[in-house]
Amino acid sequence: MRKLVLVLALLPALAIAQKEDSIFIRKIANNILVNGRAYEQLRYLTKKIGGRLAGSPQMTMAENWGLTTLKESGADNVFFQECMVPHWVRGGEDKAAVIDVAGKKQKRSLDVLALGNSLGTGKKGLTGEVIAVASYDELENRKAEVKGKIVFYNYPFNPTYIRPGQAYGESGVYRRNGPSRAAKYGAVGVIVRSLTEATDNNPHTGATLYNDSFPKIPAVAVGLKDAEYLFKTCKENKIVKVSLTTYGHFLPDAVGHNVIAELKGTDQNEFITVGGHLDSWDINEGAHDDGTGIVQTMEVLRVLKALNYKPKKTIRFVLFANEENGLRGGQKYAEQAKVNKEKHVFALESDNGGFTPRGFSFTVSEAGLQKIKQWQPLLQTYGGTDFIQGGGGADITPLNSNFNTPVAQLLPDNQRYFDLHHARSDVFEQVNKRELFLGAINMAALIYLVDKYGL
Amino acid sequence: MRKLVLVLALLPALAIAQKEDSIFIRKIANNILVNGRAYEQLRYLTKKIGGRLAGSPQMTMAENWGLTTLKESGADNVFFQECMVPHWVRGGEDKAAVIDVAGKKQKRSLDVLALGNSLGTGKKGLTGEVIAVASYDELENRKAEVKGKIVFYNYPFNPTYIRPGQAYGESGVYRRNGPSRAAKYGAVGVIVRSLTEATDNNPHTGATLYNDSFPKIPAVAVGLKDAEYLFKTCKENKIVKVSLTTYGHFLPDAVGHNVIAELKGTDQNEFITVGGHLDSWDINEGAHDDGTGIVQTMEVLRVLKALNYKPKKTIRFVLFANEENGLRGGQKYAEQAKVNKEKHVFALESDNGGFTPRGFSFTVSEAGLQKIKQWQPLLQTYGGTDFIQGGGGADITPLNSNFNTPVAQLLPDNQRYFDLHHARSDVFEQVNKRELFLGAINMAALIYLVDKYGL
């Protein structure tokens, strides 16, 4: 009861603070909804620069554009943070075809994309018999049959998870580890069913990670129509042969940069970071992944400056390098924080697509989460209702690992994300202006609240 | 305190019931996410039948398809409920152009669509000077200038409402009443800025309602690029002339039908209705408006039957006729309920687009709403978190008005709805399978809970 009395005594002060916060967040919202630049910035990034894989000329164009745009958004200072990035190139047009079904020659093309970081067959290509497996369990049961063959993993993207990120986590092991796991048993190539439920036939690329203990065999993704056809054909026929031609290879590491802007706080050595990743795959415009996170980050800067907000902490706006196939940008940022003895009190990333926000996921103490949940009434008007434990973007995870910095990720309603994620269809037209803006509003509001009240 | 003890005593029974409900709703979800047919049904409705305005041949095709598909979905019985529907036709290609700016002849085409129910200029067309107004206030101030001119309403779709339906409500009066309001002052034609924030130039049609006291003048909508151009041009130049050619007219009323399926309840004269509207505008595929509501309705039937659910009340699945430009289907349904002395205990409509569900809006007693809110923990997993007072679809409003039947509408996250609403861009490709399914899951769960526990 005593606690209750105390709480009741504090209520008027709390109510005034909440009202003030509510008014400021409404200003953030109105300003972004009316004056927001994120959508037009995204149009430029996707249409004028396009795919911008680490090491590519487009990466450099995007970095320069990022620096200029952050400056224009009102930063106190902007700078490049150099980091060496891997330089994988696709090297040519990925091709595959079914060329023999049970002894009958044919040529049915498959629409494929080499997995990122995978090594190509080269011009001469690779021809092999396919062994189609539904899962690693089936691979293990049939490991004696694998030698000299192309393993086709047809593990489906589970539709019954309500949050599709769970299905991505589950199926993702086949793309990430499948090639080496097949190579262990003597496979000469790998085909992976794309990590999607999309009913089109677009293949979805993404990074694979070779295990150095086994041969680094070529690996491609196929879309769902081809996957269904190939699996059925393999299950109905004793021998199915496929030809693969891919050209993936690494060039020497390249000079890349995190692009960083600051709004200086009254306490200049305490940092709050907000960011997304500037790189994308080469075969699309990197609109939802992660152009939207980039322009939302810029929008947070623009609106705080436009509203003349004077932060307590220094707020960093970071366009991270090389999330897709190396994470060198995120690692560099955390290393440099250590070198410079910076105190990082919070970091937020947007890298789940620019869809309507539902809230945030956090990696934070239970006490911190309880504090954040008190802000829910301030954010729910703008879609932010879910505040859950467990999350934070890939680029800011090193901050959490190294310094125990609380980290968070914007949780958009990403039901349609995996229809286009890492596929050619991740283009500007798939992004809705209002959904993009609402995400930026929630991000700006959270940064404001963390800056004002700490965590 | 006594109340609290009572509540505590009831908790175990409540917990068991909630667990049972939670399991059943999970079965609904899994069944729809794995076996759902709504997406493929929508593909058929939009791609094979297409736009299906009241009175059109496509209306009849859609009715027949609806009857067959509801039968296949497992209904105990299906039937047509005849109702006469208005038969407005566009009659030709709508055209407009700026032909004179301050005495300089030119021909800059404007992309326009005649408003539904509007009467055309006929082949000879209409040429007139444009008076551009930002609002009704400006119209009133300048009413002396209106005579003989074409009034252009450029009232913007307010971006600062977080729920875009509010902006639609606010701007919608210009489309619905603007032509007659201008005709009252002697205008000869009307151009309306489309009810959208879309950055493309698509015009958005929709019904207009003439006031019989004034001349029924031609009226068209323009997309935002043309609207911005025209408004600027008018404000900068004394005289701007436009030509309009439209062909809209009414044919005699046609025979249309509500398409109805039933799952018989143990109490056969108590009814729960779930539905959407089968008609759409002529210039698009009527995907989100309201093909998605139609196939979600079918999905609710299919899943309840597949799970062998035996309802207490008779559940009606209704594909309403003529929502867009007459509401004759909804009116007929309520009239017939009266004739047959049916007791309607609840009605639910989905007509806000097939996007990820956020909850439901209701027109129900406060006690009813409190009861519904207790079900929130059962629905929130599937996206249903918001249960708000004030809402219900147009087709079921007559049930509420005539019998005080509690009504509800699915509340999807419709941030992107007005980009395509009543525009050519409302096509199948704009619908996401998972978002569509999640809506159907929430609808089926709500119907199940209302049937089981009453309201």
Residue pair B117/B208 in contact (Cβ under 8 Å)? The answer is: yes
Whether a cis peptide bond, with omega within 30° of 0, leads into A290 is: yes
Say whether A102 sits in a helix, a strand or coil.
coil
CB A258 within 8 A of CB A79: no
Q: Say if strands A219-222 and A112-114 run parallel, antiparallel, or are unpaired.
A: antiparallel
**Dist CA A441 CA A33 (whole Å):** 9
Is A16 part of a structural domain of the chain?
no
How many whole angstroms separate alpha carbon A78 and alpha carbon A360? 27
The answer to whether residue A2 sits within a structural domain is no
Among A residues 332-371, those touching chain B with beta carbons less than 8 Å apart: 356
CA atoms within 13 A on the CB side of B423: 25
Residue A295, φ and ψ in degrees, nearest 5: -75, -25
B264 with B237, same domain: the answer is no
CATH number at residue B348: 3.40.630.10
Co-location of B205 and B295 in the same domain: no
Q: What is the CATH number of the domain that holds B105?
A: 3.50.30.30
Cα torsion A351, A356, A361, A366: sign? positive
The answer to whether A152 touches A139, Cβ cutoff 8 Å, is: no
Q: Of A153, A161, A157, A163, which is closest to residue A189 (Cα–Cα)?
A: A153
Per-residue pLDDT of chain B (455 residues; tens, 9 = 90+): 455 555 556 666 767 788 999 999 999 999 999 999 999 999 999 999 999 999 999 999 999 999 999 999 999 999 999 999 999 999 999 999 999 999 999 999 999 999 999 999 999 999 999 999 999 999 999 999 999 999 999 999 999 999 999 999 999 999 999 999 999 999 999 999 999 999 899 999 999 999 999 999 999 999 999 999 999 999 999 999 999 999 999 999 999 999 999 999 998 889 999 999 999 999 999 999 999 999 999 999 999 999 999 999 999 999 999 999 999 999 999 999 999 999 999 999 999 999 999 999 999 999 999 999 999 999 999 999 899 999 899 999 999 999 999 999 999 999 999 999 999 999 999 999 999 999 999 999 999 999 999 98
Answer whether residue A4 is part of any domain.
Answer: no
Give A-chain residues touching B376 at CB under 8 angstroms: none
In this structure, are A438 and A290 located in the same domain?
yes
Encoding tokens for residue B168?
């639609």
Q: Which residues partner with B85 through β-bridges?
A: B254
3-state SS assignment for residue A423? coil
Using CA atoms, how far apart are residues A250 and B160, in angstroms rounded to an integer?
Answer: 48
Backbone angles phi, psi at A211, to 5 degrees: -90, 120
A201 to chain B, closest Cα gap in Å? 14
Which of B227, B248, B269 finishes a domain? Answer: B248
Closest CA to A176 of A204, A141, A202: A204
Same structural domain, B179 and B213 = yes
Task: Give yes or no: residues A235 and A380 share one domain.
Answer: no
- Residues A215, A77 share a domain: no
> Would you call the peptide bond into B282 cis, given omega within 30 degrees of 0 as the criterion?
no
Model ipTM?
Answer: 0.94
* Six-digit token string for B336: 């017939």
Whether B77 and B97 map to the same domain: the answer is no
pLDDT tens sequence across B385-413: 899 999 899 999 999 999 999 999 999 99
Using only C-alpha atoms, chain B has a radius of gyration, in whole angstroms, of 24
CA distance A34 to A114: 42
Q: What is the residue range of A127's domain?
A: 91-247
**Is B168 a domain residue?**
yes
pLDDT at residue A1 above 50? no
Contacts of A434 in chain B (CB under 8 A): 159, 164, 197, 415-416
Q: Where are the beta strands (DSSP E) in B208-330?
A: 219-222, 240-245, 249-263, 267-277, 313-320
Which of A190, A216, A247 marks a domain boundary?
A: A247
**Which H or E run includes A453?**
helix A433-453
Beta-carbon separation of A438 and B162 below 8 A: yes
Check whether residue B241 and residue B267 sit in a common domain. Answer: no
* Tokens matching residue B455: 């309201």
Q: Are residues A229 and A83 in the same domain?
A: no
Q: Give the domain-ending residue among B248, B269, B286.
A: B248
CB contact under 8 A, A159 and B434: yes
A324 is catalytic: no
Residue type, A4: L
Q: Note whether residue A271 is domain-resident.
A: yes
Contacts of B435 in chain A (CB under 8 A): 415-416
Q: What distance in Å separates residue A431's CA from the closest CA in chain B?
A: 9
Dihedrals φ, ψ of A82, to 5°?
-70, 140
d(CA B239, CA B109): 17
Phi, psi of B364 (to 5 degrees): -155, 160
Same domain assignment for residues B220 and B324: no
pLDDT digits (tens, 9 = 90+) for A43-89: 999 999 999 999 999 999 999 999 999 999 999 999 999 999 999 99
Same domain, A284 and A397: yes
Catalytic residue among B323, B324, B342, B349: B323
Radius of gyration of chain A (CA): 24
The number of distinct structural domains making up chain B is 2
Structural domain contains residue A229: yes
Do B238 and B266 share a domain, yes or no? no
Total CB pairs under 8 A between chain A and B:
59
Asked if the structure places residue B203 within a domain, the reply is yes
d(CA A198, CA B90): 36
- Tell me if A12 is assigned to some domain: no
Per DSSP, the three-state class of B248 is: coil
Which chain B residue shows the shortest CA-CA distance from A196? Answer: B434
